[in-house]
Structure 1
Amino acid sequence: MRRTPGRLPTSLLVCLLTCLAALGTVLAGPVAPAAAAPGDQTTSTAGPVQVTLSVLEPRTVTADSVIQVSGTLTNAGDDTITDVSVRLQRGDRLTSRQALAEDAARPSAGTTAQAPFLPQSGVLDPGDDIPFAYSTTAAELGITAAGVYPVLVNVNGTRGGLVERVGELPTYLVAPGAPTTPTSVAWLWPLTDRPHRDAAGRFTDDDLAAELSADGRLDRALQVLEDLPDGGRGVPVTLAVDPALVQELTAMAGGYTVDGVAGAGVAAAATWLDRLRALAAVHPVLALPYADVDADALQSAGLSDVVLRALPGTPAGGGAGEEGADGEGARILADALDTQPRTDLVWPAGGVLRADTLATLQAAGVDQLVLAQGAYTDSDAAVGRTGRAAAARVPVDTAAGQLTTLVADTALGDVVAGADTAPGGARAAEQRYLAELGVLTDQLAAVDPAVAQTVLVVPPREVEADPSWATPMLADTVTQTWLAGASLTDLAAGPSAEAGTLVAPTDTTVLAGEGLVALARADAVRADLAAAVGDEAGDVLAEQDDAIARASSTAWRGDPAGFAAAAADVEQTIDGLRGQVGLVVPADGTYSLASSDAPLVLTVRNDLPFAVTVVLDLRARSGVGFTAGDVPPQRLEANSRTVVTVPTTVRQSGGFTVVARLTTPAGGVLGSEVELRVTSTAYGPITLAITIGAAALLGLLFLRRLVLFVLRRRRGEARPVDDDVLVPADGGPDADHPAPTTRSPV
C-alpha cells in the first residue's frame, strides 16, 4: 500500500486532537459542558451530585444585592469526583405566572448570564458529601430590573479524568417591584389526624402519643406557628381544627388505656392542648366537621343526616347552623380552647363537592367554602394565570342563592406539601413559593399596581411541616414588604374573580363499598333509637353520632380495609344497644293468674344510660282462651327496672304459651322475643256455664227423686218403685192393668 507523503494516519490525528483538548481544559480551569450551550435544556437530576440548599439570600433581590448560596453536595454515584467547583447562572426574566409554570416543568439552562466558577474544597467519594458556599452579585448576573429570574446552581467536577457537569439545581431569584398595594396572602393551617378510637370510645392504638411527642408531626405543626415573629400576631393564620382530635386529646390527658395498658401520651396530650389553647388566643379557629367526615361519600349513600350531625354549627338534633352556633363540634372546641370557632365555612376534603352535598351544607347554614382550583370550570382568573390580578374570592350562584367560595391556590399548596422532599431541600421549595408570589406581583405591576390582589395557601390535611422551612414561609407575609398577611375573613370581603361554574368531582378516592352499607345500617338503628329517646336524642345519642362520624372520616380514604373494619365495628356496637332493653322473666318462665281478668304483671329492664320509650306486645301462640289488652307506650328510665301491668282476659282455665316482644315506637325490635307460660286456675265464661248447667241438672234429678218419694208415701205403697218408671196416679191409663200375681209353689 502506498502512503501519501506528509499526511498522518486518521487514528493518530484523532488521538492528538483529543489530548490537546484535554490539555486545554486543564489549563483553562473548570468549564461548563456542552449542555450549558444556548438553547440546551437541563434538569435537576443531571449528574450524580445532588445539591441541597440551606442558604439562599437575600429572599428579595435588588440591583445592588450580594447573593449568597450555600448548602451540601452529595455524591450519589459510584465514581470519585475531584476538583469540584460551583457557579450561578441565570435565564431570561419570567413575566407571567404561566411562564413560571412552564419553567418549573422544564427548567431554564441559565445561559443568559453566568457568574464565574468558584472551586470548592474536598473530594466527593461515592456516598460522601461536602459543604459548598458561593457568592456573587445581582450586577454580575445582570439583574437590573424587577422580576423573577430562573437560576441554575451548576456543579462541575472531574470524574474519570474528564471535567464535566456533575450536578445542578434550578431555583429562582425574586426581585419584585414596589406595587402600590401588596399582595395579600392568607393561610389555612390544618390540625387533624385519623381517628384513634373505636365505636365504644376505646383507644385502638397509641400512635397519637408519638405524633404529639417531640418532633412528632402534630408537635411540629404547632411549633411552626409558635416560632412566627411576635408570636404570630402579625400573621393571621386560620387554624382548621378537627373537634374529634381535640376530644381524643382531652380524653388522653385525663388518662387512658390501650388494650388494658396505660397510654404513654397523657402528659404530651395535656401539653399539646395547652399550646393549642395559647395559639387559639392569637389566631382565628375554623371548626372542621367532626372527624372530618367524607361528606360526598355519605351524601351518595343517602346519609345526609350524618353529614348534618357532624357539622360543628349544627345544634344537637339537627337544624340550621350559623357562625357561633352551639353545635357539638363548636362546643368541643370552645370548652377545650376557650375560643369561639367559625362554623359557617366548610373546607371539604379534595376541595370539590357534589351538587347535592352542597345543597345539604347550605340548608344547614353553611355560606362559605374553601375549594380547590379544580372545583371550577375556569379558575385561571382567580389565581392570576391570565396575567391579571389574582382574587381568591369567587361568588357562585346556586339553587339556594349566591355562595361565597375561596380558591385554594394549587401551585402554592403543592409547594408546601412537597417541601420536605423537594429537590434541593426545603429552602429551594420556599424560593419557589416566593417566585410564585413574586411573578404575581410583577405581572400586576405591569397592569395596575394599585389593584388589590389576594391569594389563599392551603396545605394538605396531614402536612409534614418543619419549622425550619414552614415558619419562614408563613413569616414571609410580614418580612417581605411586597406581601401582606390576611385572614379568611379578609379574603371573603376582598376583590372577587369570575371562575366559571362549579364542576362535579372526578376523583374516585372516596369512601365506598360494604363499609358505606354498614354505616347505613348503623344509622338506621340510630334513627330508630332516636324515636324511642324523643326530643333529646341529639344530646343523648351524641356518643353514637360521634362513633358513626369517626367511621366516616376522610382519613379512611386511603385505607379501605381500615374503613370496612371501622364501619363494621360501629354497626355492631350500635345494634348491640337494642339488646340492653328487654323483659325480666321468672326462672321457670311461668306466670299464674287467679281470676279471669287478673292482670299480668311484667318487669322490663333498661340497661341503657338513657331513658327510652317502648311498646309492649303480647299474644297467645294458639290465640284461643287468652287475650292481652292494649298497653300504652312505657317510658323506661336509664338503668332501671320498670313494672308493667298488662290487662288480660282468660276464657278457660289451664296453661297458655304467650309470646312477648318489646319495640321502639317506630317498630324496631328491642331485646329478644320471649315465650311466657301463663297458667290460670280461674273459671272462664265457658267453664262457668258448663259448671252451672251441670249443677242445675243435678238439682233437677234430685227434685225428681224427692217428688216420687212423696207420691209413694201418699199412696201407701210398700213395694219399691223403679227409679226409672213413673208410677201413674190413681185412675191413670195403667190402672186397669194390675201387675200379675206370683203364686208360691204348694
Structure 2
Amino acid sequence: MRRRATGGGVRPVTPAPRRAAVLAAVVVAVLGALLLPAGTASAAPGDDPAATPSTGPVGVSLTSLEPRTVRPDSTIQLVGTLTNDGDDTITDITVRLQRGDRLTSRQELADDAATPSAGDAAQAPFSPQVGVLEPGDSIPLGYTATAADLGIVEDGVYPVLVNVNGTRNGLVERVGELSTYLVAAASTTSRTSVAWLWPLTERPHRDAAGAFVDDDLAGEISADGRLDRALDVLEDLPDGGRTVPVTLAVDPALVEEVTAMAAGYTVAGATGQGVTAAADWLERLRALASVHPVVALPYADVDADALQAAGLPAVVTRSLPGTPEGTASQPLDAQGDPVATPTAAPTAPADDEDTDTGAGARILADALDVTPRTDLAWPAGGTVRPDTLATLRAGGVGELVLGQGAYADAAAAVGRTGRAAAARVPVTTGADTLTTLVADGALGDVVAAADTTAGGARVVEQRYLAELGVLTSQLAAVDPAVAQTVLVVPPREVQADPSWATAMMADTASEPWLAAVSVDDLTRGPVADAGALVAPTGDGQLSGVGLATVAEAVAIRDDFAAAVDDAGVVLAGYDAAIARASSAAWRGDPSGFTARTTDLQQTLTGLRGRVGLVAPADGTYSLASSDAPLVLTVRNDLPFAVTVTLDLQTRSGVGFDADPVSDRRLEPDSRTVVQVPTSVRQSGSFTVVARLATPAGGQLGTQVELRVSSTAYGPITLVITLGAAALLALLFLRRLVRFVLRRRRGEPGPVEDDALPGADDAPTAPPAAPPTRSPV
C-alpha cells in the first residue's frame, strides 16, 4: 500500500480493487454523522481536532515531558510508550500535540479535568513513530514540538492532547490519546509556597497483649513495600531533602512495632521475618528525621471523633503525645519482649526527660533521636467534632490540619474564589482562637490517585503543576506581591512512588514560581477566612458495635485504675491495646476492627479472673469460739499490686455476723491471708458468700460460697442453757424444802415424795400362822 502526506496527517492511497469498499465506508460515516442528534460530535478519522475524545485501543504513557515550565522559546519533548491493548494490528502510527484554551482559574481546571479539552485551539504537526503495533505490543513514543507551534505566548496553564493516529483495518483513525497540561511561566514574579505533610502510618499488627498477630508489617518495610517506598520518596529528594522540608507525620505505635521487630520477635510461635528490614527501616527513618520536621500523631492514630461520639474522650487523651496523661505505650519484660503489663516497678524519669509530654513523644524521641512536635493534630477524615476539639485542646493540641470539608467556606483558603490561597485559617473556639491549616483537596486527590492515573507518573506530576500553576496565575492577576500558601496532604496509607512523589516535592524547590516550606512555616503565613468549622457527619467512622465493645473494655480498665498505684504506668499497656483497637486504620477494615475489639474485650475481662478468693478444699470452715476470726486466702496473679475490698454475707442473716474489712493491698503474684472478725450467736452451720471487688466496686474473680460451722455457745444458746440449769436447781430446792417440813411435822410424805427404802429400812414380815392339823 502506498501513502502520501497530507496537511492533516497521513492518508492512505487505496489500490483500485479496494476503493469501492472504502467509498462505502465513507458514505456510511457521512450518513451516520447526519443522523446524529444535534450537539453530538462524530468520531472523525485521522487528525480532525473536533473528533470526540476516545482512548482507542492504544494506551499512551509518558516517562518524560519537558520542560516543566514552558517559555515562548521552549521546545516541548515527549518520551513514553505506546501500547496496543486491542485485537487489531496498527501501522503507520503518528503523534502530535494539540492544545485547548488557556485556563485562568481553579474551577476551569477542575472542569477540564472532568471533561478534557479536545485541543482545538492550536495543533502542532504530526510526527511519525517507528514500529508496528501488534496486539499486546508496545513501541517507544518520541515527539518534539515548539511553544510557537502550539501558540503558547502567555503565562498560564494549557490543556493539551497527545493525539495518536494509525491505520487499522485499512483505515486511518485516532487510535489513542492522552490529556495532560503545560504550564507557561515566563514573566511572572509571583510565587506559591507549598508545604507537604507526609504520613507514616500503618494499621496495628499486635493484639491486646502486645503479641504480633501477623507478619504483614515485614512486607511493608521490606524492599518495594509501601512503607519502604514512603522513605524512598524522601531519600531521593535533591540535596538530601534539605531544600524541601517535608514534614513527617509519624504514628508512635508504628515506630514502636518496628522497634520491637528489630529486637527480635515471633508470630504465632515462629520467628518473625522482618528483623533485618526493621532495623534498616528504623535507621533510614532516623536519618530522615534529622533533616525533616517530625510531628507525633496520637498513638495508633486513633479515630478521635468516633471515640468522642462513643463517650470515650479519655481514650483520646491517653493516646495524645503532648500531655503527661498520654500514657498509651507497650511495656517490655526483662528480656525486652512486649508484655501487657510492666513486670518491674517504674523508674523515676531522668532529669533531662520531658515529663510534660506523653508516651508517644518519648517513643519517637528514643527511636529517632528527635524532639517531635506534639501540638499539631491531624484528625482522621479531615474533620473534627466540637467536643473532640475540646478534648484535643485539653491534651496539648494547639494547631490542627483539616480538610476542606471541615469549613463552611473553604473556597477562599484554596484559591477557588480567584484570589490568593492561604492555608492558615484562624478559628474562634470559645474564648480563644485556634490556628488550623487547610489541606488542599484537589492536590490531595491528585496524590491519592497517582498510583492508578492513566498515562504514568509524569502525567500525575503535570496535573499537580497545573493546579499550582493556575493558583500562581491567579495571584499574578490580583497582586504579585501577595504571599500565597498551599498545604499538600496525601491519604494516610498513600501508595507512594518516587517517580511521581519525589518529583512533585522537588518541583517546589526547582521551579522559579514555587517555594518549598514546612508545615510550621504555614502557621506563620498569610491568613484566610474559611468560615466556621462544620461538624462531621460521622460517615466512615468506626462502627458503633465495635465501639460498644471498646467501651466495655474501657470500663474494666477504669475500674482497675482505682485499684492500682500509678495507673498511667501500670495500665499503659492496656491503654495502648485500647488505642490500637480504636485506630482510624480500621475504618476501611470492618472485619479487622471486629477481631481487634473482641480480643481487647477478652483480654481486659481476663484481668478480673486473675484476682480472687481461694476456696477451702472441702468448702467448710470451723470456728472454735463465738468471736473466732474467719481466715481467708486471697490470690493476686497479676504482675502489679492491687487494692481490693472483701465483703461477706450469710444466706439467712441470722446467727452469724462478719465485721467490715478495710481495703487490702495485694502484692504482685502473691497469696495473702485475710482474717475477718466474726460474731456467732448460736452454734450450727451457716452458708456464707464471700465477694472480692475493686474499690470502685468491680467484681474480681468469682464469688465463693463457704460453709461455716460453729460448736461454740453463742449468747442465745448460753442464755438458754443457763436458764434451764437455774430452773432445775429451783425445782430441786423446792422438793428438798417440802421434804424437810414434812419430817418436822411427822407427816408421811406423799408417795411421790417418799424415797425408796434402803436395805436396813426393810419392813418386818408378819408372823407366820401356826400350822393346822387335819382331824384324824
What TM-score, normalized by structure 2, do the two folds share? 0.86
Report if aligned partners of 1:147, 1:177 keep a CA contact under 8 Å in 2: no
Alignment of 1:350 with 2:350, yes or no, is no
Alignment of 1:554 with 2:563, yes or no, is no
Secondary structure at the aligned position of 1:502 is classed as: coil
Greater displacement, 701-710 / 118-127: 701-710
Q: 1:17 to 1:662 in 2, by over 3 A?
A: closer
Q: 1:20 to 1:249 in 2, by over 3 A?
A: closer
Secondary structure at the aligned position of 1:467 is classed as: coil
Quick one: distance in 2 between partners of 1:100 and 1:673? 71
* Residue from 164, 169, 172 that aligns with 1:160: 169
Report if aligned partners of 1:614, 1:664 keep a CA contact under 8 Å in 2: yes
Aligned to 1:607: 637
Quick one: distance in 2 between partners of 1:105 and 1:640? 70
Report if aligned partners of 1:177, 1:442 keep a CA contact under 8 Å in 2: no
Aligned to 1:3: none
Quick one: distance in 2 between partners of 1:20 and 1:354? 64
Q: 1:48 to 1:400 in 2, by over 3 A?
A: farther
Aligned to 1:371: 402
* Unmatched runs of 5 consecutive residues or more in structure 2: 1-16, 28-42, 329-353, 757-763, 770-776
Quick one: distance in 1 between partners of 2:65 and 2:212? 45
Aligned to 1:509: 540
Q: 1:358 to 1:36 in 2, by over 3 A?
A: farther
Q: 1:324 to 1:62 in 2, by over 3 A?
A: farther
Quick one: distance in 1 between partners of 2:400 and 2:430? 16
Q: Deviations over 1:212-257 (max 9, x none)?
A: 1100000000111111112111111111111111121122122222
Secondary structure at the aligned position of 2:640 is classed as: coil
Quick one: distance in 1 between partners of 2:727 and 2:449? 106
Aligned to 1:455: 486
Greater displacement, 585-594 / 610-619: 585-594
Greater displacement, 401-410 / 59-68: 59-68
Aligned to 1:333: 364
* Residue from 253, 274, 282 that aligns with 1:273: 282
Report if aligned partners of 1:33, 1:164 keep a CA contact under 8 Å in 2: yes
Q: Deviations over 1:499-540 (max 9, x none)?
A: 122222236111123212111111111111112225x11221
* Residue from 193, 197, 201 that aligns with 2:206: 197
1:703, CA displacement in angstroms? 5.7
Q: Tell me which amino acid in the other structure corresponds to 2:648.
A: L
1:585, CA displacement in angstroms? 2.3
Aligned to 1:250: 259
* Residue from 753, 764, 767 that aligns with 1:724: 753
* Residue from 408, 415, 420 that aligns with 2:439: 408
What is the aligned-residue RMSD (CA, Å)? 2.9
Q: Tell me which amino acid in the other structure corresponds to 1:428.
A: V
Alignment of 1:690 with 2:690, yes or no, is no
Alignment of 1:83 with 2:114, yes or no, is no
Q: Tell me which amino acid in the other structure corresponds to 1:18.
A: L
Q: 1:66 to 1:228 in 2, by over 3 A?
A: same
Alignment of 1:119 with 2:105, yes or no, is no
Q: Tell me which amino acid in the other structure corresponds to 1:622.
A: S
Aligned to 2:703: 673
Secondary structure at the aligned position of 1:272 is classed as: helix
Q: Tell me which amino acid in the other structure corresponds to 1:161.
A: G
Q: Tell me which amino acid in the other structure corresponds to 1:426.
A: A
Q: Deviations over 1:248-280 (max 9, x none)?
A: 112212222222211111111121111111111
Q: Tell me which amino acid in the other structure corresponds to 1:494.
A: G
Q: Tell me which amino acid in the other structure corresponds to 1:166.
A: V
Quick one: distance in 1 between partners of 2:115 and 2:630? 87
* Residue from 570, 583, 586 that aligns with 2:613: 583
Quick one: distance in 2 between partners of 1:511 and 1:20? 59
1:681, CA displacement in angstroms? 2.5
* Residue from 459, 463, 476 that aligns with 1:445: 476
Alignment of 1:101 with 2:110, yes or no, is yes
Q: Deviations over 1:331-361 (max 9, x none)?
A: 2212211112112111111111222222222
Quick one: distance in 1 between partners of 2:25 and 2:227? 61
Report if aligned partners of 2:190, 2:476 keep a CA contact under 8 Å in 1: no
Q: Tell me which amino acid in the other structure corresponds to 1:465.
A: A
Secondary structure at the aligned position of 2:753 is classed as: coil
Q: 1:694 to 1:317 in 2, by over 3 A?
A: farther
Report if aligned partners of 1:42, 1:107 keep a CA contact under 8 Å in 2: no
Q: Tell me which amino acid in the other structure corresponds to 1:382.
A: A
Aligned to 1:732: none
Quick one: distance in 2 between partners of 1:201 and 1:195? 10
Aligned to 1:214: 223
* Unmatched runs of 5 consecutive residues or more in structure 1: 1-11, 23-31, 728-740
Quick one: distance in 2 between partners of 1:20 and 1:201? 71
Report if aligned partners of 1:281, 1:339 keep a CA contact under 8 Å in 2: yes
1:693, CA displacement in angstroms? 3.1
Greater displacement, 309-318 / 390-399: 309-318
Quick one: distance in 1 between partners of 2:375 and 2:51? 49
Quick one: distance in 2 between partners of 1:46 and 1:503? 40
Q: 1:695 to 1:423 in 2, by over 3 A?
A: same
Report if aligned partners of 2:190, 2:472 keep a CA contact under 8 Å in 1: no
Alignment of 1:304-703 (within 5 A): 304-316=313-325, 325-506=356-537, 508-534=539-565, 536-700=566-730
Q: 1:16 to 1:156 in 2, by over 3 A?
A: closer
Q: Tell me which amino acid in the other structure corresponds to 1:338.
A: D
Report if aligned partners of 1:191, 1:241 keep a CA contact under 8 Å in 2: yes
How many residue pairs get matched? 707
Q: 1:349 to 1:17 in 2, by over 3 A?
A: closer
Q: 1:213 to 1:317 in 2, by over 3 A?
A: closer
Quick one: distance in 2 between partners of 1:638 and 1:180? 70
Give the % identical residues.
Answer: 72
Quick one: distance in 2 between partners of 1:277 and 1:235? 17
Quick one: distance in 2 between partners of 1:116 and 1:530? 77
Quick one: distance in 2 between partners of 1:724 and 1:710? 11
Aligned to 1:4: none
